[in-house]
Amino acid sequence: MDFISERINNLTPSATLAMSQKSAELRAAGIDVINMSIGEPDFNTPDFIKEAAKVAIDENYTHYPPVPGYMTLRKAISEKLSRENGVDYAPEQIVVGNGAKQELCNALLATVNPGDEVIIPVPAWVSYMDMVKLAEGKVVPVYAGVEQNFKITPEQLEAAITPRSRVVMFNSPSNPTGSVYSRAELAALAAVLERHPHVLILADDIYEHINYVGGAPSIAQFESLRDRMMIVNGVSKAYAMTGWRIGWIAAPLAIAKGIIKLQGQYTSSVSSIAMKAAEAAYTGSQDCVEDMRRAFERRRDLIVELAKEIPGWVVNKPDGAFYLFPEVSAYIGKRYGDREIKSSGDYVMYLLEEAHVAAVDGAAFCAPGYLRLSYATSEDNIREAMRRIREASAKLG
């Protein structure tokens, strides 16, 4: 008897975090692993943001902050939304939480009843599916493979909507595929959603600034959907602030209030100091965002070129985020000695053990047959990792 609840027994551990942990353990044991499993900018947080945190400590921002976050930060986010995204959300509609992760989960916990359906275009980030489970909802995956550049069509969306649909999740640029929906593609999806007013929309725009197409539009831009639109974003990716754990949601007022009630009972607010740092990120110079974006673009070009040279991989050119999601099923059924590769997961483990490169199995993102590589690492690491993968893959016959 281990006393673990069914709720927790039903959860799957996060594959991205598990793989990153495994690669850290191998490194600690002296093995030179290149970690391309976790999606985290390798840059440090810009200095002006760190300075703001130091000032916050000296100015005694050390007491419990308001549950939804400091009003100054909520105002800065509201201004960011109108300046960059052309959408108006009052500060009262914004709730700050422990990363975009917590606000995504809060949004589902606040709106999904047991048995409600949550439509998720897949491949999708590992945590979405388990967040829906936590909320006792039912995941309705809508699959788009590499042959359709990982983007769902309006027809697919229409077919997935039922009277039990409660929320549809969108993530563009996407983790794990890097695909970016164009404005026209989003407009076609929005037209479907207009016909189904009982469905809420949850837009995860965390990678908005990391794109290589001159801007990634959001599904949130459509006025006709505004009264049922929830936007989640944060500072982790754009400002290299993963460790500060600041994310937020902008939502219809009743939902924002529901989330504040929930947060007030289980996490209160987030770190006062981290919030002051995030405020500096939104109100200071935005040059750092563009500098990092450019570095990611160079790395994207490099990894795509090298990945195309690996026999059997089917590779698209991702337009955003910092992930490559090759289709690798050509390696399923191959052998090395007495070891047989039976799945993309076996191939990922083989690459970890033989090439010392950590990736994540596509199955964790609802896409077996694929794997995910994060290229938020140096160009030298990318070159060396791809060389090792090629060499190890060539040994499989």
For ligand GLU, the binding residues (CB under 6 A) are 14, 16-17, 38-40, 101, 125-127, 175
Nearest to 132 by CA among 151, 157, 113, 158: 113
Structure tokens at 58: 């000296």
Q: How much of the chain is in helix, strand and coil states, percent to nearest 5?
A: 45, 15, 40
Q: Using CB under 6 A, which of the segments 42-50, 94-102, 111-119, 215-223 binds ligand PMP?
A: 94-102
**Residues in Cβ contact with 96 at an 8 Å cutoff, skipping those fewer than 6 apart:** 68, 69, 70, 73, 74, 77, 246, 247, 248, 269, 270, 275, 278
| Beta carbon nearer to ligand GLU, 190 or 385 | 385
Q: Is the sign of the CA dihedral 36, 38, 44, 48 positive or negative?
A: positive
* Helices 99-111/126-134 angle, 10° precision: 40
H or E element in which residue 202 lies: strand 200-204
Please give the size of the binding site for ligand PMP, defined by CB under 6 A: 13
The one of ligand GLU, ligand PMP, none whose footprint includes residue 17, by CB under 5 to 8 A per kind, is ligand GLU
Furthest-apart CA atoms within the chain: distance in Å: 64
Q: Which does 121 bind (CB under 5 to 8 A by kind): ligand PMP, ligand GLU, none?
A: none
175 binds ligand PMP (CB under 6 A): yes
Assess 121 for contact with ligand PMP (CB under 6 A). no
Radius of gyration of the chain measured on its C-alpha atoms = 21
Q: Binding partner of residue 97 among ligand PMP, ligand GLU, none, CB under 5 to 8 Å per kind? A: none
The CB-of-259 to ligand PMP minimum distance in angstroms stands at: 15
Residue with CB nearest ligand GLU? 39
Distance in Å, CB of 99 to ligand GLU, minimum: 8
Please select the residue that binds ligand PMP; options are 204, 319, 327, 361, rule is CB under 6 A.
Answer: 204
Concatenated DSSP letters for 150-185?
A: T---HHHHHHH--TTEEEEEE-SSPTTT-----HHH
Q: What sections of 29-98 are H helices per DSSP?
A: 47-58, 71-85
Q: Which range of residues in 95-103, 138-146, 187-195, 371-379 is near ligand PMP by CB under 6 A?
A: 95-103
Looking at the Cβ atoms of 98 and 175, the one nearer to ligand GLU is: 175
Q: Is 101 in the site for ligand PMP (CB under 6 A)?
A: yes
Is 206 a binding residue for ligand PMP by CB under 6 A? The answer is yes
The number of residues in the chain equals 397
How far apart are CB 124 and ligand PMP at their closest, in Å?
8
Query: Which spans of this chain sit near ligand PMP (rule: CB under 6 A)?
Result: 39, 99-101, 125, 171, 175, 204, 206, 234, 236, 242, 247
